[in-house]
């Protein structure tokens, strides 16, 4: 459909969102008053705008003009200027003052405010100081508008352009003209590829020093997104020559400049290159772990053996469990690792009882909301996410954050127990260690055979492999757990044995299907067979997992199919298309990145808070296209009002990748095991998927794929300098 261009004067602002500049307004268009929707920063009644877009019909609000490009002009006629100023666009000017100004200066009023503000002092009540403030406010507004219009030609959204203006002020355009790569270096949300596209349109040379240095940092950022805290120098520089299309000499010069300026770190001893923040975090984690292990705390004042016997009354601890509890009370740091059914929770509960009996304070935590909730339920004590425990604090007007708990304001707990530590990345571990008081004890529990953290680092494995810290490895599966084929098969898979499936009256099933038939079987299991047999709620109790996003049985394809089966369209359901995804009320969705700036309301406690995290799952309760918001109710009883501008942080969640499911637990897991890329046909991925289920596992696909995954114990290499730093210090 071909876009149209319309032009007119803004009559009234119906709705305006300060965060993303989305607005709904009435426009005088010829003899008609029409409703327009789109993004324009600081729009005010009385302005004249030229809009490019399409006519749409809204189910509730009728015909609208939806625009994606605009040109604005300062009002020229006296009445328009008066309306513009009376709207409160400039602090200190209201209707009465606007009338006085336009009566005196007519069509020159705005020019007077802009270039000769001292003339405003002839009006009673306007001092020179007040006139200069009006001038300053007017110029700031014009700068912001000019910045947005400048970046519009490069496809930068109004919301992002406002962010650029807030960062650089009136210098924004000139600064970016000089070096467009400042955008990806300084503005969160703008990546190297976007900056490179803008630079190309500006005619910036491929060998521009700013481009090369930003490209190198981008390459290290990509490595971090793939889990590496560092990367070998030769491999990094070789990749950058391909990425940037430049000579190695130019790349090496840019690399040297970055090292000299402190933007990246090159460690000669290991030949590893780091983004500076990750290097500093790696140093911090290694030094604090070693200090914690070497510190000589006071021994408990009570008899440890008696305390364990007292706390475990009615429970027979295994030799390893007893050793773990004793170690936790004697050492400042210890690690408990083991698969499902090996008794990690029993150990934690015993430690909690001893702590309560002898007046020690304990904090329980886990990386995700679901993991924390599960830990709290198992221990019948409050467990917090690590972000909440550490006091996540958002830096105003930015995407940056810090923690209120650190070396200057430590946690008061005598013992800190963290579960699901395999999910903890380097940055979060650094923050945790900084928060501990001098004589605190740290207990890290997790399953080292699961997939590593989504963020950079392989912290749990690095700590265990260093051989420096006490580690209790649990291998015995207890009798009650042995009754579950989920637990049995998890350990079989971990040992390189094929899972036992389809045993009578058991909980682990395999359904062989071709890649063409697998998606239909998965949909039928979700919509009919499992709900009918086990009374499961298809959205709350059943989760489809996939090794990959791509292919006919990847998450992208399956989400579309499952949406049609579990939440088909109807006249009563509102919809919103965003990119390639169609969202519908009733859809199951997942947050795919940490967003610390989203406010929420806890419907159980009626408490307000900030932050929705990567992996949080919820249901779309409502879609309000007039206000440009989506209401989502998350599993942990949080209600969130999403701006449409944030929808790139959401995905349909009927099917998830195994990586995204870490820390979660579901009553039933359906795992797609159709053929996938060799790098995803690995044992720890299958093991992680199976251990997400509490009651039922159904594998759908190829037995050959299962066999390949079981036999392939190769782990994807993650570059990390932590093991060497732990051994070297």
pLDDT tens-digit map of 41-87: 778 888 888 898 888 876 667 788 988 778 877 777 888 788 778 87
DSSP state of 457: -
- Angle separating helix axes 95-105 and 78-86, nearest 10 degrees: 150
pLDDT greater than 60 at residue 397 = no
pLDDT band at 398 (very low <50, low <70, confident <90, very high): low
Cross-strand bridge partners of residue 630: 623, 642
Tell me if 312 sits within 8 A of 275, measured CB to CB. Answer: no
Helix (H) or strand (E) holding 503: none
- Rounded distance between C-alpha atoms, residue 640 and residue 631, angstroms: 6
% residues pLDDT > 70 (the chain): 96
- Rounded distance between C-alpha atoms, residue 105 and residue 110, angstroms: 9
Query: In the predicted model, what is the mean pLDDT of residues 603-610?
Result: 81
Tell me if 275 sits within 8 A of 220, measured CB to CB. Answer: yes
Of 563 and 612, the one with more pLDDT: 563
Query: In the predicted model, what is the mean pLDDT of residues 401-412?
Result: 87
Cross-strand bridge partners of residue 474: 338
% residues pLDDT > 90 (the chain): 50
Total Cβ atoms within 10 A of residue 644: 20
pLDDT tens-digit map of 346-365: 999 999 999 999 999 999 99
Give residue 278's pLDDT.
Answer: 96
pLDDT tens-digit map of 614-640: 888 999 999 987 777 899 998 767 899
Residues present in the chain in total: 729
pLDDT tens-digit map of 467-513: 899 999 998 887 566 678 999 999 999 999 999 999 988 899 999 99
Q: Is 375 exposed, middle or buried (0-12, 13-18, 19+ CB in 10 A)?
A: buried
Query: In the predicted model, what is the mean pLDDT of residues 716-725?
Result: 91
pLDDT tens-digit map of 98-140: 899 999 999 899 889 888 989 999 998 899 999 998 888 888 7
Across the chain, what does the average pLDDT equal?
Answer: 88
Give residue 729's pLDDT.
Answer: 52
- Rounded distance between C-alpha atoms, residue 47 and residue 207, angstroms: 43
- The pairing of strands 693-701 and 666-673 is parallel
pLDDT tens-digit map of 199-211: 888 888 899 999 9
Q: Which residue blocks in 295-404 are alpha helix, DSSP H?
A: 304-311, 319-330, 344-357, 369-379, 386-389
Tell me if 49 sits within 8 A of 132, measured CB to CB. Answer: no
Indicate left, alpha or beta for 589 from its phi (over 0: left) and psi (-120 to 50: alpha). Answer: beta
Q: Is 174 exposed, middle or buried (0-12, 13-18, 19+ CB in 10 A)?
A: exposed
pLDDT greater than 90 at residue 92 = no
Cross-strand bridge partners of residue 577: 582
Give residue 492's pLDDT.
Answer: 93
pLDDT band at 166 (very low <50, low <70, confident <90, very high): confident
Give residue 360's pLDDT.
Answer: 93
Q: Which two tokens stand for residue 270?
A: 């290991």
pLDDT tens-digit map of 209-244: 999 999 999 999 999 989 999 999 999 999 999 999
């Amino acid at each position: 459909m071909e876009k149209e261009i319309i032009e007119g004067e803004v009559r009234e602002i119906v709705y305006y969102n300060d965060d993303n500049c989305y607005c709904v307004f009435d426009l005088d268009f010829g003899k008609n008053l029409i409703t327009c929707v789109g993004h324009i920063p600081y729009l005010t009644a009385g302005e004249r705008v030229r809009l490019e877009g399409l006519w749409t019909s809204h189910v509730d609000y009728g015909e609208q003009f939806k625009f994606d490009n605009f040109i604005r002009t300062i009002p020229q006629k006296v009445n328009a200027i008066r309306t513009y100023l009376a709207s409160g666009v400039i602090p200190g000017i209201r209707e009465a003052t606007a009338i006085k100004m336009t009566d005196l200066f007519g069509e020159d009023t705005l020019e007077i405010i802009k270039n000769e503000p001292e003339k405003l002092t002839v009006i009673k009540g306007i001092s020179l100081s007040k006139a200069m403030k009006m001038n300053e406010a007017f110029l700031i507004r014009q700068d912001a508008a000019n910045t947005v219009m400048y970046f519009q030609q490069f496809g930068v959204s109004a919301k992002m352009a406002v962010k650029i203006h807030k960062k650089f002020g009136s210098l924004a355009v000139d600064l970016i003209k000089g070096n467009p790569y400042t955008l990806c270096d300084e503005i969160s949300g703008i990546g190297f590829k976007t900056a490179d596209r803008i630079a190309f349109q500006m005619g910036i040379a491929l060998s521009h020093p700013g481009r090369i240095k930003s490209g190198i940092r981008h390459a290290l950022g990509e490595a971090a997104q793939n889990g590496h805290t560092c990367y070998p120098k030769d491999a990094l520089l070789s990749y950058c020559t391909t990425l940037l299309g430049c000579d190695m000499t130019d790349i090496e010069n840019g690399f040297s400049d970055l090292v000299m300026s402190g933007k990246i770190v090159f460690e000669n001893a290991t030949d590893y290159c780091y983004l500076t923040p990750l290097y500093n975090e790696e140093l911090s984690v290694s030094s604090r772990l070693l200090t914690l292990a070497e510190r000589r705390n006071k021994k408990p004042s009570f008899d440890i053996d008696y305390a364990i016997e007292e706390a475990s009354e009615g429970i027979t601890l295994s030799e390893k469990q007893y050793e773990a509890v004793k170690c936790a009370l004697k050492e400042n740091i210890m690690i408990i690792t083991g698969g499902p059914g090996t008794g990690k929770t029993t150990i934690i509960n015993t430690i909690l009882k001893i702590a309560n009996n002898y007046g020690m304070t304990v904090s329980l935590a886990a990386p995700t909301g679901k993991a924390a909730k599960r830990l709290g339920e198992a221990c019948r004590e409050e467990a917090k996410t690590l972000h909440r425990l550490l006091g996540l604090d958002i830096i105003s007007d930015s995407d940056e954050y810090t923690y209120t708990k650190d070396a200057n304001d430590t946690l008061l707990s005598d013992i800190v127990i963290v579960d699901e530590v395999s999910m903890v990345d380097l940055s979060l571990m650094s923050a945790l260690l900084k928060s501990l008081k001098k004589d605190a004890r740290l207990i890290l529990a997790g399953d080292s055979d699961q997939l590593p953290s989504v963020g950079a680092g392989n912290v749990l494995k690095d700590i265990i492999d260093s051989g420096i810290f006490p580690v209790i490895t649990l291998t015995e599966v207890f009798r009650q757990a042995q009754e579950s084929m989920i637990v049995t098969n998890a350990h079989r898979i971990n040992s390189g044995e094929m899972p036992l499936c389809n045993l009578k009256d058991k909980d682990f099933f395999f359904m062989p299907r071709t890649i063409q038939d697998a998606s239909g079987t998965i949909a039928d299991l979700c919509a009919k067979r499992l709900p009918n047999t086990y009374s499961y709620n298809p959205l709350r109790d059943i989760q489809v997992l996939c090794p990959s996003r791509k292919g006919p049985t990847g998450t992208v394809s399956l989400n579309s199919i499952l949406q049609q089966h579990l939440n088909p369209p109807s006249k009563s359901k509102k919809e919103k298309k965003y990119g390639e995804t169609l969202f519908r009320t009733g859809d199951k969705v997942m947050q795919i990145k940490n967003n610390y700036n989203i406010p929420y309301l806890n419907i159980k406690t009626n408490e307000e808070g900030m932050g929705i995290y990567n992996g949080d799952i919820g249901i779309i309760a409502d879609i309000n296209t007039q206000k440009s918001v989506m209401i989502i109710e998350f599993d942990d009883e949080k209600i969130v009002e999403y701006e449409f501008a944030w929808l790139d942080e959401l995905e349909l969640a009927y099917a998830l990748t195994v990586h995204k499911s870490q820390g979660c637990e579901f009553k039933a897991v359906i795992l797609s095991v159709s053929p996938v890329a060799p790098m995803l046909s690995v044992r720890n991925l299958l093991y992680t998927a199976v251990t997400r289920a509490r009651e039922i596992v159904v594998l759908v696909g190829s037995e050959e794929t299962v066999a390949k995954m079981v036999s392939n114990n190769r782990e994807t290499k993650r570059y990390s300098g932590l093991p060497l730093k732990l051994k070297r210090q």
